[in-house]
Chain A
Amino acid sequence: MRVNFTVNGPPQEADDVWEGESLLYVLRERMGLPGSKNACEQGECGSCTVRLDGVPVCACLVAAGQVEGRDVVTVEGLADFAKQREEHGGCASAGSGARGASGAPEASGTPGTSLDEARGWAAKGTDSGTGEGDELSPIQQAFIDAGAVQCGFCTPGLLVTADEMLERNPSPSDADIREALSGNLCRCTGYEKILDAVRLAAARQSEAV
């Protein structure tokens, strides 16, 4: 079957989708967006977390056919998503740009992250220089600055989850952070640096206001 939905802003179309396929498979294998990670395939680990119409969900548990006509934001589009949110005064409904455009928006003219840009995304620099010269969302920058990334596999899911929490709750308590991230497993860090990163992003966010 064919599925139409927006990914990080621009409308996309996936063809020959198997009816039992997950959104995660469509993103990774059909759209070439491997940022959302495939680990447990049962919603236990949170490494495939994406925003579906703004709501954080495990992409492995959403049937591809269920996203027809809906808006998806993946980690590849997080920087643009955060930028748009800032420009629109904290209002960050996914793909609002695509919907606001009149007629059938050209992919190039639609705000957000095009598929090519998203596919070609790679962090520049190494070690402590990682991310330099790249446009990152505040939460991504905070993860780098706080040293919250080790093997990196859980990072995309944590970024999407943490970004959504900070959107909803700009000054979270430690309990709020723990609760919000409770569906994202990390086997490297012991979580402490991840908590530091979210605290850092929250602090920077409140300074910026």
Chain B
Amino acid sequence: MDFLRPAAWEEALAAKAEHPTAVPIAGGTDVMVEINFDHRRPEYLMDLNRIGELSEWAVGEEHVRLGASVPYTRIMEHLRTELPGLALASHTVGSPQIRNRGSVGGNLGAASPAGDAHPALLSAGAEVEVESVRGVRRIPVEDFYTGVKRNALAPDELIKAVLIKKASGPQQFSKVGTRNAMVIAVCAFGIALHPDTRTVKTGIGSAAPTPLRARAAEDFLNAALEEGGFWESGKVITPSVAKQFAALASGACNPIDDVRGTAKYRRHAVGIMARRTLGWTWEQYRATGTTLEGAA
């Protein structure tokens, strides 16, 4: 094994072009587990910790540009207003030690369907900025997940940043697990109200081969909210609408039975989380009409 230590982004791109099998490592919270357990013996390990810009973020007019290796702890501390859904999801990642090292770039690189950041990214709306010596691409996050632990990266590409739409309304994240800390999601659900475009977007985690949006549920809800004039009036969502939304979210799942839970349970739980998180966010919207910071 060779250990590559690029000091700058361009160096990292050159190294990745020369050694496409190189495995990037930032927080190490996934990669080192695989190495410790001898599940993986990469030819090259490429440390990204030296590249300062990967740990930086910038809040723009419409987006937050989040460097690929910004630790979850920083997101919880600094981006709760702009990215409430992601801040909530970040808080459910592993433990303080893990959140001090793990990052959204790592979640995307690993592309596990159970990654906690995914439902938040999908519901907020995000693009993944990837780069190689050939150039830069921006991939809508929906298109980034291509299969179980597979993503749209070419062998010579690295994830540089994620551009996440700033919240224009309440967002929520819900996750099912056996305890609060150190839990890989049995299943998870993210929801974001976008009053600016009068749409609701969702993200489902750990209940299909890839993280995904519950598009039929979104379409149904968006139409129902529009037709009923809910965005203007801010009235309580009709229970039958919430129920149908939940049923469609449940129907979007394509889960498996595994050690963490059964497919049937996951479908059921996603429906429950969809109904609850819709209720929470809509109540916030009714109360304030604006973004609420993610609660701790």
User: Which one, B2, B3, B28, B180, contacts A62 given CB within 8 A?
Assistant: B28
For A57, the chain B residues whose CB sits under 8 A away are 97, 100-101
For A184, the chain B residues whose CB sits under 8 A away are 95
Q: A41-B36, A42-B33, A42-B36 are in contact. Are A63 and B97 (CB under 8 A)?
A: no
The contact string, 1 if C-beta is below 8 Å from chain B, for chain A 84-112, is 00000000000000000000000000000
For A61, the chain B residues whose CB sits under 8 A away are 27-29, 32-33, 98, 101
The winner among A43, A46, A184 for most chain B CB atoms within 10 A is A43
User: Which one, B2, B25, B31, B181, contacts A183 given CB within 8 A?
Assistant: B181
CB <8 Å contact, B1 and A18: yes
Give the distance in Å from the alpha carbon of A62 to the alpha carbon of B31 in the complex: 10
Give the distance in Å from the alpha carbon of A57 to the alpha carbon of B25 in the complex: 15
CB <8 Å contact, A60 and B96: no
CB <8 Å contact, A66 and B96: no
CB <8 Å contact, A180 and B1: no
- The yes or no answer to A15 lying at the interface (CB within 8 A) is no
Give the distance in Å from the alpha carbon of A18 to the alpha carbon of B1 in the complex: 8
CB <8 Å contact, A183 and B32: no
Interface residues of A in 46-65 (CB under 8 A from B): 46, 49, 55-58, 60-63, 65
Q: A20-B41, A65-B5 are in contact. Are A58 and B97 (CB under 8 A)?
A: yes
For A19, the chain B residues whose CB sits under 8 A away are 1-3, 45
Distance in angstroms from B43 CB to nearest chain A CB is 10
- The yes or no answer to A179 lying at the interface (CB within 8 A) is yes
Interface residues of B in 1-42 (CB under 8 A from A): 1-3, 5, 25, 27-29, 31-33, 35-37, 41-42
Interface of B is mostly: loop
Q: A61-B27, A63-B25, A63-B32 are in contact. Are A180 and B96 (CB under 8 A)?
A: yes
In the complex, which residue of chain B has the Cβ closest to the Cβ of A1? B3
CB <8 Å contact, A63 and B98: no
CB <8 Å contact, A60 and B32: yes
Give the distance in Å from the alpha carbon of A183 to the alpha carbon of B1 in the complex: 31
- The yes or no answer to A68 lying at the interface (CB within 8 A) is yes
The winner among B1, B32, B100 for most chain A CB atoms within 10 A is B32
User: Which one, A18, A68, A183, contacts B95 given CB within 8 A?
Assistant: A183
In the complex, which residue of chain A has the Cβ closest to the Cβ of B49? A66
CB <8 Å contact, A63 and B95: no
Give the distance in Å from the alpha carbon of A3 to the alpha carbon of B31 in the complex: 20
List the 5 closest pairs (A to B, CB-CB), nearest first. Answer: A183-B95, A182-B181, A19-B1, A19-B3, A41-B36
- Known interface pairs A19-B2, A61-B32; 14 further A-B residue pairs with C-beta atoms within 8 A, sorted by A's residue number: A18-B1, A19-B45, A20-B41, A43-B29, A43-B98, A56-B96, A58-B101, A61-B28, A63-B32, A65-B47, A66-B28, A66-B49, A180-B96, A184-B95
